[in-house]
Homo-oligomer: A and B are copies of this chain.
Amino acid sequence: MGDQSINNDRPAKRQVTTGAVGNSVKTWSSPEGRADIRVPFREVPLSPEANEPPVRIYDTSGPYTDPTATIDVAQGLPALRAPWLARRGLDTVPQARAVRPEDNGFVTGKYGVAPCPAEHVVWRGSEGRPVTQYEFACAGIVTEEMIFAAHRENLGRIEKDPDAAARRADGEDFGADIPEFVTPEFVRSEIAKGRAILPANINHPELEPMVIGRNFLVKINANIGNSAVTSSAEEEIDKLVWAIRWGADTVMDLSTGTNIHNIRDWILRNSPVPIGTVPLYQALEKVGGVAEKLTWEIFRDTLIEQAEQGVDYFTIHAGVRLAHVPLTANRTTGIVSRGGSIMAAWCLAYHRESFLYEHFEDICDICRAYDISFSLGDGLRPGSLADANDAAQFAELETLGELTKIAHAKGCQVMIEGPGHVPMHKIRVNMTRQLDACGEAPFYTLGPLTTDIAPGYDHITSGIGAAMIGWYGCAMLCYVTPKEHLGLPDRADVKTGVITYKIAAHAADLAKGHPAARIHDDAISRARFDFRWEDQFNLALDPDTARSFHDETLPKAAHKTAHFCSMCGPKFCSMKISHDIRRDAERQQGMEQMRESFHEKGGKLYI
């Protein structure tokens, strides 16, 4: 298990969480002919009486759930992509940007988090050769990352299963183009069309590649990050590992305050999932929290700092233009995006166009050089139902559409961030307008929350909206935890948020008619009907909670094979009665057949 402490001055408060999820087994599968590409899955073996193969589940948890892996956070994860990257003619950066005091908020002494000692060579793309997955895709080149992501999307199916077409036809996909089986070529073509991104900074070789787009499985993002008020480095690493354990496909590090450079180092070297950031947050820290002091130079330097560390996607609020700010004047809740409000303050202070907008091509050049995907921020998203779908929101969306074209022309990958707070009947138009304005670039929304009245339960108010917009075509759903609007989420909140969003994403996959989605549901439903309690627990998104809820009232081992649960008790178990009915019906049918056969043979019973 190695040394898992993070700061030699301060012993780690907790170990990184390892071990299998429920009774599932970590497994790897390789696409045909590419034994060098090993795609992780977790398999749930079923009890012998099921007489069914294990159920294979998409696995975001990385080596932490591999019992054979040695986890040493000081050493970081294995550099899975290094051999692929080595063949691409990238430039090393001998004079990589050195860490500066302001990068960690001028922290000193015992309050400082030590740098992550894991080895990290900094790469940069050269001018003449393709660097980004978008450039490769447009050049017709299928990368290893695309092969990896394609195999992952199929949930390890090596070819279309016989029921794929039926499951596909069963859905309503609102004009999406979901294939029955995902090939690497399909991944390439989707990226080339700008309809998908594969966020993978060339300086994040530890990454297990994944793809985000409307025609793939709906993904979810979890936010972590210390804040000025609370949180520590140890907690952040643990939150990362914890979030991906339950299914977060990407993680955004939204840290502010001190130590953010070093904490980000620890996170990146230990993350198998794409890491996103909002570079503006760190830039603002560097100028003491005063928006007016922000400059393009400080921002640019921050982009390069984070690019070299390996951040996979940047939220850039370049759509908040000076002319949009007055559109928020009569809003009920003003501007609720942190980045949006910072940029609006900057624009108004100087009565000037946003430097992010004016320098957007320069930002593209940086993103292209490291293959950092854009997540074009919705700085003017609505913060209440009253402000949903208003002029400010849609004006920004139009700008994001313009910027998408520029970024593509520069060779960059782009996704678009979306709201926010939106009542159910106004969700669909968000999706259709985004597809239209942004040329089908992947949409990545925060919820949306479908009512404002339930602080403490905003994972649910937003899970409803998330499931719906995922169905309508949203590619990635940013989770909301129960603490939204109230405080910083803790470990339990992160898990609740991730599970809620896995539910939303999976519900969306089912509704769109993803050809492999329902395999999981059908397996658990058969287990339920057969009273295979252990299989039900193990197939649950959260096996621990399912088991503990059951065991609260029926803790004994014998109850794990009981043909009832405490909800209805033995006499009123409808499933038990259903089995009795079938058994009796079969017996009766058997008798009918015997009687018929007796008659066919001309027999007579009573003469």
Contact = CB atoms under 8 A, between A and B. Distances in A.
B542 A456 contact: yes
A423 B525 contact: no
B485 A565 contact: yes
A521 B451 contact: yes
A525 B421 CA distance: 11
A529 B334 contact: yes
Nearest to A539: B453
Interface residue range, chain A: 35 or more
Task: Give the number of copies in the complex.
Answer: 2
B541 A454 contact: yes
Q: Interface majority SS on A: helix, strand, loop or mixed?
A: helix
A345 interface: yes
A227 B552 CA distance: 15
A463 B454 CA distance: 14
Contacts of A281: 572
A166 to B, nearest CB: 12
Interface in A98-116: none
Contact of A549 (B228, B450, B486): B486
A252 to B, nearest CB: 14
B526 A567 contact: no
A337 interface: yes
A289 interface: yes
Contact of A574 (B335, B348, B386, B553): B335
Most buried by B among A454, A506, A546, A585: A454
Contacts of A554: 229, 487
Given A423-B507, A542-B456, A345 B567 contact: no
A384 B348 contact: no
Nearest to A463: B460
Contacts of A520: 453
A328 B581 CA distance: 10
A524 B542 CA distance: 33
A567 B385 contact: no
A137 interface: no
A275 interface: no
A126 B241 CA distance: 69
Nearest to A459: B460
B453 A486 contact: no
A178 to B, nearest CB: 13
Nearest to A509: B451
Contacts of A529: 332-334, 383-384
Interface stretch (A198-206, A497-505, A599-607): A497-505
A546 B456 CA distance: 5
Given A228-B569, A455-B536, A522-B384, A468 B507 contact: no
A482 interface: yes
Contact of A453 (B332, B457, B524, B577): B524
B553 A487 contact: yes
Given A348-B581, A549-B487, A574-B338, A424 B471 contact: yes
Interface string A493-518: 00000011011101110111100001
Contacts of A512: 425
Interface string A518-536: 1011101110110000001
A158 interface: no
A222 to B, nearest CB: 15
B349 A584 contact: yes
A520 to B, nearest CB: 5
A472 to B, nearest CB: 10
A454 B549 CA distance: 12
A541 B455 CA distance: 8
Contact of A384 (B454, B528, B553, B574): B528
Contact of A457 (B228, B450, B455, B503): B503
Contacts of A518: 385-386
Interface in A346-387: 348-349, 383-386
Contact of A525 (B172, B337, B386): B386
3 A-B pairs with least C-beta separation: A334-B578, A384-B525, A228-B569
9 contacts: A228-B570, A229-B566, A257-B569, A336-B574, A336-B578, A337-B574, A450-B507, A461-B507, A487-B550
Interface of A: 171-172, 227-230, 256-257, 281, 284, 289, 291, 325-326, 328-329, 332-338, 340-342, 344-345, 348-349, 383-386, 423-425, 450-457, 459-461, 463-464, 467-468, 471, 482-488, 490, 499-500, 502-504, 506-508, 510-513, 518, 520-522, 524-526, 528-529, 536-537, 539-542, 545-546, 549-550, 552-554, 565-575, 577-582, 584-585, 588
